[in-house]
A and B are shown apart, each in its own frame.
Chain A
Amino acid sequence: MSRYLRSKKVWLLLAVLGSALLSRFSGAINEYYLQVIIFVGINITLAVSLNLINGYTGQFSLGHAGFMAVGAYTASIVTLGVPLPLVTYPEPSAALFARLLGALVLAFDHAVNAVLWVANSGVAAVHGLPLVLQFVVALVAGGILAALTGLLVGVPSLRLRGDYLAIVTLGFGEIIRVVIQNTDAIGGARGYSGIPNYTTFFWAYAVAAATIYIVVSLIDSTYGRGFLTVRDDEVAAEAMGVDTTKYKVVAFVLGAFFAGIGGGLYAHTTTYINPAGFDFQRSIEIVIIVILGGMGSTPGVAFAAVLLTVLAEYLRFVAGYTFLPTWLRQLAANRTIIYALVLIALMLLRPQGLFGGLRAFGASATRKVPKAA
């Protein structure tokens, strides 16, 4: 029995079955509460995946909302099945230089149209599938595209360290947002609406469980200790034969993948997304969850995701309590101020985060000698 309890695969299976079971009763809960509970699940996915980058690998990324946006929009395009409009070609002009330029533009447009055509036929093909499969394909497509974006961002910028990397990822996150804002085919600044409400309790928590499983399994292995050596001392890690660049890219791509899936889940529960929802502040919120929970502690980060998501919603009520003094209600209405105060208190009292540095919670846990499972 204890052998099975130690196996992570068994825990993953239990968590997925458990969320499927609980999901059957989710109709009994008030719709608003259910929404909050689903947000908690999504935030666990987002924070645990960011923790792989920021906590375990020690690369400070501020671009998680950007990857989330890529996933959200991709997944919505797949489930909505609205074909993306093809590019219309400009008239080539007579002047030689303009013709040369025109030829280049034409070639570029052909390439864009080829990609759009493949994407549209892919989306059309997906629509022959049952709804559940459509959703799975949509989420995975969102994850993969976000991971590719992560690769695109990661490879050039992972040469940078610390603050520099933070600034670059912040910049890329904003670029993604601005590009979406200026792409009319997916709604531009108006946003994208009418997305089907597919995200149930089951999906939110099965994905959260899978994310936790993957991050914890990776870290708890000789291979995964490589992530921690990159964080602790890059020079020493290199000298011990650890390919630090590869580890950083893996962390970045995997983190972006789950951010993309989290974004897909988010889009399919709010049924409306707009670029402003994936701004810099969204990234910061996820970073705050990671810092509060303790960088490099998966249980801590998951706990903090629950705490902060519920707190943010609860503050809405506090702001409405008429028996409270006005200044307190105003404070509650500005949750970023509360976040700031929580962080200041945390840095003074427990700079390593709520669960950081606690070995029982896997901060830098040593492990038992593995037995064949």
Chain B
Amino acid sequence: MSTLLSLQGCTVRFGGLTAVSGLDLKIGPHDLAGLIGPNGAGKTTVFNIITGVYRPTCGSITLGDKAIAGMKPNRIAGLGIARTFQNIRLFASLSVFDNVRAAFNLRLKHGFSHALFRFPAFYREEADVDRQVMELLDIFDLGRHRDVLCKNLSYGDQRRLEIVRALATRPKLLLLDEPAAGMNPTEKEALTRLVRFIKEKFEIAVLLVEHDMKVVMGICERIFVLDHGVKIAEGNPGEITKNSKVIEAYLGEQPPEAGTADA
């Protein structure tokens, strides 16, 4: 199996706190992978080092054959990693259309001078971007909201719009940070279908961080479990549910025998 993204021995320290420690992770070009773990396990930190928000203290990250550790987030986005955020981060003052259009910034052939002088090439490119944005919006049934300010969208639509915006950068790997947070069971069901659909339609890999076990087990073919910044298990959903270390991390360990608590 070829590898799209690979993390080798990644460690992140904030002062004295080790958020992620010696993490190895491999994701193939068509994987639906999940990253789970209790609160504070370091899942979002992993996202942040992959997308360049933080630089790992040590270890390497490669996308395809490029080392991306320590690159600026906008360059990493250009290389093909897009993400959503745990707390939705849309461009609040922009319309639905403009939110998605902003993600096309990356692939503009004509920049500053064309916006100023407005030659026919500029209008051609703008019309082209326009068409592609509408295509994407229509796929996700957001086309009818194109001129709505995104802060006026319903919560579910905002989550969806954030995914659409990420897809507009034409990623090879899509990172979803708790996409089901705050959703009701019906919405979660729809999300599960949506993620599967995205993977098929755009032929990309998806890595998601999620608390909701039902969602994770429903979507992911491959799961990584983090606890206190260390990967404690890896495998398909069936293996993970039976793994004793995972159960321990989530439900707590058996009461220790007297006298060994400090060992």
Contact = CB atoms under 8 A, between A and B. Distances in A.
A binds B: yes
Interface of A: 7-9, 214, 217-218, 220-226, 228-229, 231-233, 235-244, 250, 296, 363-364, 366, 369-373
Contacts of B168: 240
A239 B101 CA distance: 14
Interface string B120-136: 10111111011000000
Given A232-B92, A240-B165, A364-B95, A223 B110 contact: yes
A364 B149 contact: yes
B223 to A, nearest CB: 24
Contacts of B140: none
A250 B111 CA distance: 12
A366 B127 CA distance: 14
Interface stretch (B83-91, B184-192, B214-222, B248-256): B83-91
Contacts of A235: 53, 73, 85, 89
B126 A221 contact: yes
Nearest to A369: B130
A235 B169 CA distance: 15
26 contacts: A7-B118, A9-B118, A217-B115, A222-B102, A222-B105, A222-B125, A225-B98, A228-B98, A233-B89, A238-B73, A239-B51, A239-B74, A239-B83, A240-B103, A240-B165, A240-B168, A241-B78, A250-B112, A366-B97, A366-B98, A366-B147, A369-B130, A370-B126, A370-B127, A371-B123, A373-B120
B82 interface: yes
A222 B106 contact: no
B118 A217 contact: yes
Contacts of A372: 120, 123-124, 127
A370 B112 contact: no
A-B residue pairs, 9 tightest by C-beta: A241-B106, A241-B77, A221-B115, A238-B73, A232-B91, A236-B89, A366-B95, A372-B123, A364-B93
Contact of A242 (B51, B102, B110): B102
A206 B82 CA distance: 44
B211 interface: no
Nearest to B93: A364
A218 B116 contact: yes
B130 A232 contact: no
Contacts of A222: 101-102, 104-105, 108, 125-126, 129
B95 A241 contact: no
A239 B102 CA distance: 11
Contacts of A232: 91-94
